[in-house]
Chains A and B, each alone.
Chain A
Amino acid sequence: MTSLLVTTLAPHWDWLIILYFFFGGIAGGAYFMATLLRFAGWPEDRPVVRLGYYVAFPLAILCGLLLILDLRQPLRFLNMLFAFKAGGLSFKYWSPISFGSWLLFLFGLVSFLSFIGVVGEDRRIRSAAAKRYGRWMWESAAGAAIAVVGAVLGIAFAGYTGLLIATTSQPIWSDSPIFGALFLVSGVSTGLATMVVLLRWRRLQLHASEVRLETADNFMMLAELVLILLLLATLGSLAKPLLTGIYGVLLVLGVVLLGLIVPLLLHLRPAILKASAAQSGAIAAGLVLLGGLLLRVVILLPPQALTS
C-alpha cells in the first residue's frame, strides 16, 4: 500500500528575507562588538568603535525596508507594532516575529542615537550642537547606558532570526534548537568582518585593532563550525536536503570551507597567500561575509523547496 507524504505549505521567505537576516546579523553583531570594544578595548580602538556605530543604523534601516517590501500588504507594516483596530500595542513575547519587529524598531532608534553621536564626533556635521552631542554620547554615563542597551538589542536582533524560523512547523527549521545560536554567532562574525572591511576601505592604519577584531572573529568562527556540526547532528537524516545537490555544495564548500576554514587559516597563517597581513585580513573578511550570506541561503531555501 502507498501513502501520502505529510505536507506543510512554505511561507516563501525568499531573497528579501535572506538579505534581511544577513544584514540584520551584521547590524546587530557590529553594534554589539563595537560597544564591547568601546568598554573593553584600548584608546586607539576608538575609530573602530565608530565604524561599528556607522554601519549599524543604515543597515537597520535597510532591514526595515527589506521587511516592509516582503510584506504582501506593505502599507500595513505598522500593524506589526500597533493594534490599530483593537487598540494598544501588537506585542507577543512568545512570537519571534512579533518581538523581532519590536527589536528592529528599538534597535533602529538606539543605533540612530549612536550614529548621530559618531557623526557629530567625527565632525561630519559642522555644528557645535552635533559635536557636543557626540562628546556627550561618548563621555557621559547616559551615553554609555544607551550603548549598552543598544548592544543588548543588537545581539538579540542578530540571533532572533534563528528563533523565528525555529518557531514554525516547517521541516528542518522546527527540528533543531540550534538555529538561534547559529545565526547569532554568524551575525557577530559577519559584523566583525564588516568592521574589518570598513577599516581597510577607510585605510585606517590600526593594525592592533584589526588583529583584535580578527581574534574575536576566530572565536566566533570556531563556535560557528561547532554549531553547524551540532545542527547536522540534531537533524540526523533530516539534514539530507542541506547536504545534497547545490545546497550541499554551498554548505560544505561555501559556508564551511570558504566562509570559515579558509578565513581562520588566513588569520592564523597570513603568509599562506604570500600577501601582506592586511591583504590576507581583507580577503578573510570578504570570505566571512560570503559565508554568512550563503549560510542563510542554505538554511532558508531547501526546507521551503520541500514544502512548496
Chain B
Amino acid sequence: MGAKGFYTDTTVCIGCKACQVACKEWNQLPAAQGYEKGFTGDSYDNTGSLSGENWRHVKFIEQFNEDRTEARWLMMSDVCKHCVRAGCLEVCPTGAIMRTEFDTVFIQPDVCNGCRACIAACPFGVIEIHPERGVAQKCTLCYDRLQNGRVPACAQACPTASIQFGDIGEMRARANERLKQLQDQGHTKANLYGADETILGGLNSFYLLDDKPEVYGLPANPQLPSRHLPQSSALAVIAAFFAALAGLVAFRRRGEVATEPSRPPK
C-alpha cells in the first residue's frame, strides 16, 4: 500500500470551515468544550487551536501594513501532519501510536493511557486529550474511511479543492505544478511546506503556503524530540560519575569523628 495523504493549497481556502464540520460529524466530536470557549475575537476563528475534539482547525491570519491601507487575509485548514518521522510516535510509551498501512499516524484509543508524552513531543501542537474519552486524540486521516476505500471526510467536503487527498507522490507532483503557476503569477513568497524530506522526513499532510511558515503559525524547522537525547544523556552520565566521586571523597573523610563522639551502631 503506498503512502496516502493531504495536499492543502492554502491559496484557495475560503475559510468556510466545511472541513471542520465534516470532521466533527464523521468522527462524532463534540461542538466545543462545554461551549466555554465562546467568541475569541480573533478574526473568524472561534476554535482557537487543534485539540482533542478539534482535529481540523481553520486558521485566519489578518495582515495589515502600518497605516492599515493594505490588508491581506490568509486562511489555512490545519491538521495533523502525519510526519514520516513522527515525534509523537517516537516517544509514545504504550505503543498506542502506530503507523498505518497508508503511512499515516494513528492513535489507538483503546491502548492510550493519557500520559501526554505525545502532546509534549509534537512540534505542531496537534495532539490533546479528549475531555470525555480521556485519551490523546488527533486526526486519524479517517483511517476507517481509508480502509473502506473512501476519501477522508474533510477532503470530500472541501468545496474549493483546497484540501486534496491521494497518493503522496501524485499530491507532490500536483503541488509542484501549482507552485510554479503561482510563482509565474508573481507570488514570490509561495512555498511548499513538508512536501519533501527536509521537514521530519516529509509530511504526509503538506501545505502550499503564500508566505513564510511562521506567518501561518508553523515552525520553520521542526525537529524530533530526541535530537538532544544523546547529548543530554552524556551530560547526565558525567553528572552521575561526579556524584559518585563526590560521595567517595566525602565518605572517606575521617577528620570530624573526634569532634563529637558517635554512638556505636545497633
Contact surface of A with B, Cβ cutoff 8 Å? 1-13, 29, 32-33, 36-37, 40-47, 70-74, 76-77, 79-80, 83-86, 90, 92, 94-98, 101, 122, 155-156, 159-160, 162-163, 165-170, 173-174, 176-182, 184-185, 188, 204-209, 211-213, 215-216, 218-220, 223, 227, 307
Write the B234-262 contact mask toward A (1 if CB under 8 angstroms, else 0): 01101110111011111111101101111
Q: Which residues of B contact A211 (CB under 8 A)?
A: 253, 256
Q: How far is A1 from B68 in the complex, measured between Cα atoms in Å?
A: 9
B135 touches A72 (CB 8 A): yes
Task: Name the residue of chain B whose CB is nearest to the CB of A78.
Answer: B113
Residue ID in chain B nearest A48 by CB atoms: B265
Scoring A2, A12, A168 by chain B CB atoms within 10 A of each residue's CB, the highest score goes to A168
Residue contact A42 to B254, C-beta cutoff 8 Å: yes
B262 touches A205 (CB 8 A): yes
Given A36-B244, A178-B235: A168 touches B263 (CB 8 Å cut-off): no
Which B residues are CB-close (under 8 A) to A208? Answer: 254, 256-257, 259-260, 262
Q: Top 3 nearest A-B pairs by Cβ distance?
A: A72-B114, A219-B246, A180-B236
Other A-B pairs beyond A166-B228, A205-B262, A207-B261, 18, CB < 8 Å: A2-B62, A2-B63, A7-B217, A9-B119, A11-B116, A11-B119, A43-B265, A73-B113, A73-B135, A98-B91, A101-B93, A159-B240, A163-B229, A170-B120, A174-B228, A184-B236, A207-B259, A220-B243
Given A8-B123, A95-B91, A208-B262, A77–B240 Cβ distance below 8 Å? no
In this complex, which of B91, B218, B257, B264 has the most chain A Cβ atoms within 10 angstroms of its Cβ? B91
Least Cβ–Cβ distance between A265 and chain B, in angstroms: 18
Q: Does B222 lie at the interface of the complex (its beta carbon under 8 Å from any beta carbon of A)?
A: yes
Whether A2 lies near B64 (C-beta < 8 A) is yes
Residues of A within 8 A of B29 (CB): none
Asked whether A168 and B120 contact (CB < 8 A) given A80-B94, A174-B225, A181-B235, the answer is: yes
Known: A86-B95, A184-B236, A215-B253. A5 touches B113 (CB 8 A): no
Q: Mark B70-114, 1 if CB is under 8 A from A, else 0.
A: 001000000000000001001111111000000000001011111
Residues of B within 8 A of A307 (CB): 125
Please determine whether A162 and B232 come into contact, CB atoms closer than 8 angstroms.
Answer: yes
Most buried by B among A43, A98, A122, A182: A98
> Closest residue to B212 on the A side, CB-wise?
A3
Contact between A212 and B251, CB atoms less than 8 A apart: yes
Task: Select from chain B the residue with minimum beta-carbon distance to A183.
Answer: B236
Picked from A2, A84, A166, the residue with its CB within 8 Å of the CB of B229 is A166
Choose among B90, B95, B114, B256 the residue that contacts A73 (Cβ–Cβ < 8 A).
Answer: B114
Chain B residues with Cβ below 8 Å from A174 are 223, 225, 227-228
**Which residues does chain B contribute within 8 Å of A86, judged by CB atoms?**
95
Give the Cβ gap from A40 to chain B, nearest Cβ, in Å: 4
Contacts A40-B251, A98-B93, A223-B239 given; does A80 touch B119 at CB 8 Å = no
Residue from A84, A122, A207 with most neighbouring chain B CB atoms (10 Å):
A207
* Minimum CB–CB distance for A209 against chain B, Å: 7
* CB-nearest residue of chain A to B50: A9
A86 to B92, CA, bound (A): 14
Contact A13:B120 (CB < 8 A) given known A97-B91, A223-B239: yes
A residues near B61, Cβ cutoff 8 Å: 4
- Cβ contacts under 8 Å, A216 to chain B: 246-247, 249-251
Interface centre among B50, B90, B111 (most CB of A within 10 A): B111
Contact (Cβ within 8 A) B251 A94: no
A10 touches B119 (CB 8 A): yes
Stretch of B8-16, B126-134, B144-152, B173-181 lying at the A interface: B126-134
Q: Does B115 reach chain A (CB closer than 8 Å)?
A: yes
Residue B121 at the chain A interface, CB threshold 8 Å: yes
Please name all residues of chain B whose beta carbon is closer than 8 Å to the beta carbon of A181 when the two chains form the complex: 232, 235-236, 238-239
A76, A84, A85 pick with most chain B CB within 10 angstroms: A76
Question: Does B266 contact A47, Cβ atoms closer than 8 Å?
Answer: yes
Cα distance, A163 to B235, chains bound together (Å): 10
What CA separation (Å) do A77 and B112 show in the bound complex?
Answer: 10
Q: Is the CB of A44 within 8 A of B125?
A: no
Closest residue of chain A to B109 (Cβ to Cβ) is A73
Chain A's closest residue to B51 (CB) is A9
CB of B141 closer than 8 Å to a CB of A: no
User: Do B218 and A6 touch (CB < 8 A)?
Assistant: yes
15 A-B residue pairs with Cβ-Cβ distance under 8 Å, sorted by A, are A6-B219, A7-B125, A8-B123, A11-B116, A13-B120, A94-B226, A95-B226, A155-B244, A159-B239, A167-B228, A173-B120, A176-B228, A185-B243, A204-B263, A211-B256
In angstroms, Cα B220 to Cα A96, docked, is: 26
**Which residues of B lie under 8 Å from residue A185 when comparing CB positions?**
239, 242-243
Residues in chain B near residue A32, CB distance under 8 A? 243-244, 247
Instruction: Find out whether the CB atom of B242 lies under 8 angstroms from the CB atom of A85.
Output: no
User: How far is it, in angstroms, between the C-alpha of A37 and the C-alpha of B135 when the chains are bound?
Assistant: 44
Residues A95 and B228 in contact, CB atoms below 8 Å apart = no
A79-B114 contact in complex given A4-B214, A41-B251, A174-B225, C-beta closer than 8 Å: no
